[in-house]
């Protein structure tokens, strides 16, 4: 997802809180899952924010095809703990959040 309107629209959907991020999910009419990642300046400088985004995008490439609902928009909002979270833990939390969003 790239447009702000899509990110804002996802706020009205299902919200799943994890220690490293918040996942928002909302059905779309596209026929496929879309994902957006948000990392605020509270997390760190540009280098840190970009590193966090890259890690989330890599996790999304691994997990969304397997665990996400088709025709849904997902927004990942990074929290402070995400910058120091080990990658396997990040994968576990994202997998759990995707499955939880699917149910709720």
Average pLDDT estimate for 7-34:
96
What number of CA atoms fall less than 13 Å from residue 1's CA on the CB side?
Answer: 27
Average pLDDT estimate for 28-51:
96
For residue range 49-95, list pLDDT tens digits in order.
999 999 999 999 999 999 999 999 999 999 999 999 999 999 999 99
| pLDDT at residue 104, as a whole number | 74
| pLDDT at residue 51, as a whole number | 98
For 41, phi then psi, to 5°, come to: -65, -15
- The DSSP bridge pattern shows strands 14-17 and 21-27 to be antiparallel
For 79, phi then psi, to 5°, come to: -115, 170
Walk me through the domains of the chain, giving residue ranges and CATH numbers: 4-103 (3.30.230.10)
Is the Cβ–Cβ distance between 24 and 10 less than 8 Å? yes
- What is this structure's pTM? 0.95
- Distances in whole angstroms, Cα of residue 59 to Cα of each of 12, 15, 84, 98: 24, 19, 15, 12
| pLDDT at residue 6, as a whole number | 95
């Amino acid at each position: 997802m790239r447009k702000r309107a899509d990110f804002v629209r996802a706020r009205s959907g299902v919200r799943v809180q994890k220690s490293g991020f918040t996942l928002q999910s909302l059905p779309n009419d596209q026929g496929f899952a879309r994902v957006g990642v948000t990392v605020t300046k509270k997390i760190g400088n540009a280098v840190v924010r970009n590193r966090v985004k890259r890690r989330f995008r890599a996790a999304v490439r691994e997990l969304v095809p397997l665990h996400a609902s088709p025709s849904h928009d997902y927004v990942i909002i990074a929290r402070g703990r995400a910058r120091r979270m080990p990658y396997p833990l990040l994968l576990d939390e994202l997998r759990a959040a995707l499955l939880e969003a699917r149910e709720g």
